């Protein structure tokens, strides 16, 4: 189901990519239990991070910032996090499944992409871009890729990249029942942090869809494939 390219291993020998499959999700636009959990998370994060001005020095922000700096870009989750903490803008409502993922992103600040498993043409390859590829982003715009960005691609094309996010073709919608979540982790992010992040996504999903089937979670690195029990 997953292939890891030698180019990715060579370019990012210290990196990891975590993948997590959930099936039979009862996805809705919003759910009261998830909304209650959002408010609690917002309060917790604002209480803890208020007054911490040097967020860029914290992990994993520091690691992601270094990755984006190579491409003369800034880490988008950091700005979204500041909007949540400083401007006190509430967490958005997109769909319960997307919201569950974004809540975990804000809690752990680990870059995550979500895909509708049924829209994927398997297998999926973990790779790095050569600079000749392009794909349609969530906003419907065509995006050419920079060389050496971490990406994932199925048999029809690129489905996500670190710099530009997930694609439109395999995006999660309210009709999505089976999902693939992908966490990109440049070198410097601990495996236990990835596992905790995946568990947070799982627990958020179970709030609104308690009978979801928790599929395999795997972490890929230069050392091979590791199955993770969540």
Q: Please report the pLDDT score of residue 216 as a whole number.
A: 84
CA dist 78 and 195 (Å) reads 21
At 85, the pLDDT band (50, 70, 90 cuts) reads: very high
In the predicted model, what is the mean pLDDT of residues 197-209?
A: 98
- To the question of pTM greater than 0.85 for the whole model, the response is yes
Distances (CA, A) of 205 to 32, 127, 161, 165, 180: 12, 28, 24, 21, 13
- Domain boundaries, given as residue ranges, for the chain: 2-221
Task: Enumerate the H helices of 26-159 as residue ranges.
Answer: 32-49, 61-70, 76-85, 96-108
Per-residue pLDDT of 17-28, as tens digits, reads 999 999 999 999
Tens digit of each residue's pLDDT (9 = 90 or more) over 98-113 = 999 999 999 999 999 9
pLDDT in tens, 29-78: 999 999 999 999 999 999 998 777 678 889 999 999 999 999 999 999 99
Residue 230, pLDDT score: 86
Please choose, from the candidates 203, 201, 176, the residue with its C-alpha nearest in 3D space to the C-alpha of residue 29: 176
- The whole-number pLDDT of residue 55 equals 87
CATH number of 2-221: 3.50.40.10
Least trusted range by pLDDT, from 48-52, 82-86, 149-153: 48-52
In this structure, of 39-53, 161-175, 209-223, the range with the lowest mean pLDDT score is: 39-53
CA distances from 34 to 1, 38, 82 (A): 31, 6, 22
């Amino acid at each position: 189901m997953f292939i890891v390219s030698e180019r990715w291993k060579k370019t990012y020998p210290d990196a990891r990519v975590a993948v997590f499959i959930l099936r039979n999700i009862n996805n809705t636009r919003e759910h009261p239990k998830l909304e209650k959990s959002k408010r609690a998370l917002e309060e917790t994060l604002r209480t803890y991070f208020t007054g911490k001005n040097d967020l860029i020095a914290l992990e994993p922000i520091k690691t992601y910032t270094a990755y984006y700096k190579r491409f003369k870009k800034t880490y988008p989750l950091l700005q979204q996090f500041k909007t949540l903490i400083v401007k006190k803008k509430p967490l958005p409502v997109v769909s319960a499944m997307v919201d569950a993922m974004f809540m975990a992103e804000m809690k752990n600040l680990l870059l995550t992409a979500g895909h509708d498993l049924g829209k994927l043409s398997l297998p999926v390859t973990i790779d790095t871009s050569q600079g000749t590829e392009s794909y349609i982003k969530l906003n419907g715009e065509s995006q050419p890729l920079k060389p050496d960005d971490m990406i994932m691609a199925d048999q029809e094309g690129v489905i996500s990249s670190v710099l530009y996010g997930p694609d439109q073709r395999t995006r999660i919608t309210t009709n999505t029942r089976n999902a693939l979540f992908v966490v990109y982790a440049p070198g410097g992010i601990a495996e236990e942090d990835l596992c905790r992040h995946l568990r947070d996504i799982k627990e958020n999903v179970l709030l609104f869809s308690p009978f979801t089937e928790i599929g395999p979670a795997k972490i890929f690195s230069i050392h091979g494939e590791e199955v993770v029990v969540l």
